[in-house]
Chains A and B, each alone.
Chain A
Amino acid sequence: MIEDTALVRARGLVKRFGDFEAVRGIDVEVRRGEAFGFLGPNGAGKSSTMRMIACVSPRSAGELRVLGEDPDRHGPRIRARLGVVPQQDNLDNELTVRQNLHVYGRYFGLPRARVRAKAEELLEFAQLTDRADDEVEPLSGGMKRRLTIARSLVNDPELLLLDEPTTGLDPQARHLLWDRLFRLKQSGVTLLVTTHYMDEAEQLCDRLVVMDGGRVVAEGSPAELIRSHATREVLELRFAPGGQDAAVPLARELADRVEVLPDRLLLYTGDGEAALAAVQRRGVQPVATLVRRSTLEDVFLHLTGRSLVD
């Protein structure tokens, strides 16, 4: 089969809501076994894309194949093999944790005995065994999220779609979730993750696309993106408010690219220490300095701009 390694293949994929184009012709290919990310600010079109791939939102134009099939024609058949974690939890709050798993599993046509056994396995996996007979409503955000992920695994999906899996969670809850997702990836589940967290993208994703305004603006592994869209190192110069303006011309001379922030200058350069020495030689007196490696965040902010979207 030609499509064997591509679980998702999109060409010129478009989503329109009335006159508004939320997704403006994107090309994406997700291979079996990888963790693929959609990184982008709010409103970039990540969820719209995910919902088309999840076969719940028909595409407006372009080509889309999920698990080798056309969502317009074989939606239920594809959905039977997918796991979906939507951006907003949509658990049944008036059922118990365990009942949520049972009921959901049945929708995939699984026999009762199979669903019961699978639910116990997933409760363990999501560390919810203690809460299995409690109603969902009073659970913490992290527990609900874990339950949503557990629920999405009830049919042993070949492709797991996670829309902002850790947004709104505290650091402990996020790390626990990352650990669970990492295990899934180890066990061979193909992950498709949207996020606007750089650390999440760097931790989880083998490959990612950066989306902005409905378009893909960059593509590659986190390391490749850093290599091609940022310099190796960044020199941060911190000034008293307003003090950095005078240093901007010099900074531009010394660095490949300079970002001017309200309280800081970021100098993108291959050698941060050398740039720092040059700055000091020329008599510039920042309040504090820092040499660090470029991160995905630098790439992201460079590509999607520093102004707030929402």
Chain B
Amino acid sequence: MTATVRAPAQSTGQVPGPVRATLLVVEGLWTWYRRHWRSTLVSSVLQPLLYLVAMGVGLGTFVDAGGRGARTVPELAGASYLQYIAPALLVAAALQNAAGEATYPVLSGFKWQKNYWAVTATPITPHQLAHGSLLWIAIRVAVSGAAYLLVAALLGAVAGPGALLALPVAVLTAMAFAAPLAAFAATTRSGGEGFNVIIRFVVLPMTLFAGTFFPVEQLPALVRPLAWVTPLWHGTELARGLSLTGVPPLAALGHVGYLVVWLAVGVVVTRWRFRVRLTT
């Protein structure tokens, strides 16, 4: 046993610039993913496809056969129910997956595995770690979304090339919701019981009632505003409109603006919570 480590007159360590540092965090997470991606496939790609087939093909047969409401929904005029829900399910699945990635894995970095402390003991700063972690979630949902879209197209669920625009919309919507959630996870000290509450009482009802399967106009007027404040509704409107009928520019701007505000606030608060927790 003669292993030695050479005497360090000068360390080889460098300070990566802010963009490079962010990408290095992504690279670290990618290293994890390369090893474990199979375990993530079911929830990220397969699950939304199952919904698409069950609802779009199964239930869609009844809807297309002339459900009373169907004739009054403009997006359904030139498209099948399958094509109607395909972009919405893309957005909903992206949001759900991003929500999952922004909660337990983030809390684990602070609390169980504590590897965030390992990262910020290097030249990487807490802000860069926050940026990289969020960017990674965005990349993940973008890739899953693309895979979903491909299969959906093969199933005849994609009406036209406009569906390609639904992908960035899905990523934006997912991150608009996930960024504030990451801030919450970074603030959480308990075992993450709050996450289940959010999944059950926010994400699930949002998916069911904020326009994924039917227009919110079908809801009682009193509860419609509840759907309108969710990022999911804005993302769904936008993605569906772009995929099927097109969206008036002003409406599109409104939806994007609303989502960007959520995202921006989420990123700022996440940065702040990362820094506070990692530099006590």
Q: Do A and B come from one complex?
A: yes
Interface residue ranges, A against B (CB under 8 Å): 17, 54, 56-58, 75-77, 79-82, 84, 86, 88, 90-96, 99, 102-104, 106-110, 114, 121-122, 124-125, 127, 151, 153, 155-158, 183-184, 187-189
**Dominant secondary structure of chain B at its interface with chain A:** loop
A122 touches B5 (CB 8 A): yes
Given the complex, which residues of A lie within 8 Å of B10, measured CB to CB?
156, 158
Bound Cα distance from A106 to B12, whole angstroms: 11
Bound Cα distance from A75 to B9, whole angstroms: 20
Bound Cα distance from A125 to B124, whole angstroms: 26
Supply 8 A–B pairs (Cβ within 8 Å), ascending by A.
Answer: A76-B15, A80-B15, A86-B117, A90-B118, A91-B115, A107-B24, A109-B16, A156-B8
Bound Cα distance from A158 to B7, whole angstroms: 9
State which residues 222-280 of B face A: CB under 8 Å: 278-280
- B6 interface hit (Cβ, 8 Å): yes
B12 touches A156 (CB 8 A): yes
- B217 interface hit (Cβ, 8 Å): no
B11 touches A110 (CB 8 A): no
Residue on B nearest A110 in the bound complex, by CB: B12
A79 touches B117 (CB 8 A): no
Given the complex, which residues of B lie within 8 Å of A103, measured CB to CB?
27-28, 31
B5 touches A183 (CB 8 A): yes
Distance (whole angstroms) from the CB of B6 to the closest CB of chain A: 7
A92 touches B14 (CB 8 A): no
Given the complex, which residues of B lie within 8 Å of A156, measured CB to CB?
5-6, 8, 10-13
Residue on B nearest A124 in the bound complex, by CB: B3
Bound Cα distance from A38 to B17, whole angstroms: 34
Bound Cα distance from A80 to B14, whole angstroms: 5
Which 7 residue pairs are nearest across A and B when measured between Cβ atoms?
A: A109-B14, A155-B13, A188-B7, A80-B13, A107-B122, A81-B11, A90-B114
Bound Cα distance from A86 to B279, whole angstroms: 14
A75 touches B31 (CB 8 A): no
B32 touches A94 (CB 8 A): yes
Instruction: Give the contacting residue for A86; candidates B5, B11, B27, B121; CB below 8 A.
Output: B121
Most chain A CB within a 10 A radius of its CB, from B5, B117, B120: B5
Distance (whole angstroms) from the CB of B37 to the closest CB of chain A: 12
Instruction: Give the contacting residue for B7; candidates A91, A124, A125, A189; CB below 8 A.
Output: A189
Q: Mark B8-49, 1 if CB is under 8 A from A, else 0.
A: 111111111000110010011001100110000000000000
Seed contacts A86-B121, A109-B123; 15 additional CB < 8 Å A-B pairs:
A54-B121, A56-B121, A81-B13, A90-B115, A94-B32, A94-B35, A96-B35, A109-B14, A110-B12, A114-B12, A122-B5, A125-B3, A157-B11, A188-B9, A189-B8
B8 touches A157 (CB 8 A): yes
Distance (whole angstroms) from the CB of A47 to the closest CB of chain B: 12
Given the complex, which residues of B lie within 8 Å of A151, measured CB to CB?
118
Given the complex, which residues of A lie within 8 Å of B124, measured CB to CB?
76, 107
B279 touches A109 (CB 8 A): no
Distance (whole angstroms) from the CB of B14 to the closest CB of chain A: 3
- B119 interface hit (Cβ, 8 Å): yes
Q: A75-B125, A90-B115 are in contact. Are A187 and B28 (CB under 8 A)?
A: no
- B113 interface hit (Cβ, 8 Å): yes
Bound Cα distance from A184 to B8, whole angstroms: 10
A92 touches B113 (CB 8 A): yes
- B1 interface hit (Cβ, 8 Å): yes
B125 touches A76 (CB 8 A): yes
Distance (whole angstroms) from the CB of A163 to the closest CB of chain B: 11
Most chain B CB within a 10 A radius of its CB, from A109, A183, A189: A109
B280 touches A17 (CB 8 A): yes
B280 touches A153 (CB 8 A): no
Residue on B nearest A80 in the bound complex, by CB: B13
Residue on A nearest B117 in the bound complex, by CB: A90
Bound Cα distance from A100 to B82, whole angstroms: 45
Instruction: Give the contacting residue for B279; candidates A56, A80, A124, A153; CB below 8 A.
Output: A56
Residue on A nearest B119 in the bound complex, by CB: A107
Given the complex, which residues of A lie within 8 Å of B20, measured CB to CB?
109
- B190 interface hit (Cβ, 8 Å): no
Residue on B nearest A190 in the bound complex, by CB: B8
Q: A94-B36, A187-B5 are in contact. Are A108 and B14 (CB under 8 A)?
A: yes
Distance (whole angstroms) from the CB of B32 to the closest CB of chain A: 6
Residue on A nearest B278 in the bound complex, by CB: A56
B114 touches A104 (CB 8 A): no
- B72 interface hit (Cβ, 8 Å): no
Distance (whole angstroms) from the CB of B100 to the closest CB of chain A: 16
B28 touches A80 (CB 8 A): no
- B4 interface hit (Cβ, 8 Å): yes
A99 touches B31 (CB 8 A): yes
Bound Cα distance from A108 to B31, whole angstroms: 16
Given the complex, which residues of A lie within 8 Å of B118, measured CB to CB?
86, 90-92, 104, 151
State which residues 116-142 of B face A: CB under 8 Å: 117-125
Given the complex, which residues of B lie within 8 Å of A108, measured CB to CB?
12-14, 122-123
B11 touches A155 (CB 8 A): yes
